[in-house]
C-alpha cells in the first residue's frame, strides 16, 4: 500500500487551489487558513478548515449543517470538480517524486505482490494524480483506501485488505502488508491497521521523527530502486519464507 502525496507525487499547488475553490463554493467564504494536510483525509481537512476559518464564516451557514454529512458530500463533489478543472496543470506545476515511478514498477514485478494506495485524497483526485505521471498502471486502485471514506486511515487499511481478500481469494495478513508513507500519521495508520511500515523522508516528517514514531524501516527517498525492493522483501521475509 502506497501513500500518494509527498510519497509518490507532489502536486501541492494544484491541490491547494482546488481546496480553496471547493471550500468557497460550498461555504460561501474564502479559505484563509489551510490546516495541516500530512497524513489527513480530505474530510478531516475540510472540517478542520471550517474551524480555522470560522471568523470569516457566512452567518447563514448553520452549525448543524457545518457538521453534517450533506455538507461534506457537497464539498467532496466540488473538490473533485475543482481538481478535474486543473488536471492539465498536474504535469506543469507538479511532479513525480524522484524514483517513485521506478520503485512502484519494480515492486510490481515481484512475485505474488498486489499494489494499491492508502491515501487521504478522495478517489477521483488520487487517480488523476497517479495517472498524470503514469504510475496508476502498476496499481490495483479498486482495492485502495481513499479520503472519500469517512473511516480513519488505519481502519481504511483493514478495509482495503478485506477488499483484496475478496478480489484475489487469499487472506492478506498483517505480516504480508506493507504501508509506504511519508508522515508520522502514516506510520500510526500502519500500526493501527496491522501492517508493517516503510517510511520515506520525502514529506514534512524527518527521518528521525519517522523512526521515533515506530516505523519498521526508514528511507531518505525512493531513488534507490533496489533498496526499496529489498526493503519490501525484508519486511515480508517471514511470509515469503513460509
| Integer CA distances (angstroms), 2 to 25, 52, 92, 195, 197, in order | 31, 29, 23, 12, 10
Cα–Cα dist 153/150, whole Å: 9
pTM greater than the 0.85 cutoff: yes
Spans of all domains in the chain: 12-89, 95-241
Average pLDDT of every residue of the chain: 90
Confidence of residue 242 (pLDDT cuts 50, 70, 90): very low
Confidence of residue 58 (pLDDT cuts 50, 70, 90): low
Q: Over the stretch 142-167, which tens digit does the pLDDT of each residue have?
A: 999 998 877 788 889 999 999 999 99
* CATH architecture type of domain 95-241: 3-Layer(aba) Sandwich (3.40)
Q: Over the stretch 174-214, which tens digit does the pLDDT of each residue have?
A: 788 999 999 999 999 999 999 999 999 999 999 999 999 99
Amino acid at each position: 500500500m502506497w501513500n500518494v502525496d509527498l510519497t509518490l507525487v507532489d502536486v501541492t499547488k494544484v491541490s491547494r487551489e482546488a481546496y480553496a475553490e471547493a471550500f468557497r463554493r460550498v461555504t460561501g467564504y474564502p479559505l484563509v487558513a489551510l490546516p495541516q494536510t500530512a497524513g489527513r483525509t480530505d474530510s478531516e481537512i475540510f472540517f478542520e478548515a471550517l474551524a480555522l476559518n470560522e471568523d470569516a464564516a457566512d452567518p447563514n451557514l448553520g452549525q448543524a449543517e457545518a457538521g453534517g454529512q450533506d455538507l461534506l458530500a457537497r464539498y467532496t463533489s466540488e473538490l473533485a470538480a475543482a481538481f478535474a478543472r486543473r488536471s492539465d496543470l498536474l504535469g506543469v506545476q507538479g511532479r513525480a517524486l524522484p524514483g517513485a515511478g521506478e520503485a512502484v514498477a519494480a515492486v510490481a514485478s515481484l512475485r505474488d505482490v498486489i499494489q494499491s494506495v492508502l491515501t487521504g485524497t478522495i478517489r477521483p483526485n488520487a487517480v488523476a494524480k497517479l495517472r498524470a505521471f503514469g504510475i496508476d498502471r502498476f496499481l490495483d486502485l479498486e482495492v485502495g483506501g481513499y479520503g472519500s471514506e469517512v473511516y480513519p486511515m488505519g481502519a481504511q487499511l483493514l478495509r482495503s485488505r478485506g477488499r483484496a481478500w475478496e478480489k484475489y481469494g487469499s487472506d492478506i495478513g498483517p505480516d504480508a502488508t506493507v504501508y509506504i508513507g511519508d508522515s508520522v500519521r502514516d506510520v500510526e495508520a500502519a500500526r493501527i491497521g496491522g501492517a508493517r511500515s516503510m517510511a520515506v523522508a520525502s514529506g514534512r516528517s524527518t527521518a528521525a521523527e519517522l523512526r521515533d514514531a515506530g516505523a519498521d524501516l526508514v528511507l531518505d527517498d525512493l531513488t534507490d530502486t533496489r533498496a526499496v525492493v529489498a526493503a519490501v522483501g525484508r519486511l515480508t521475509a517471514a511470509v515469503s519464507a513460509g
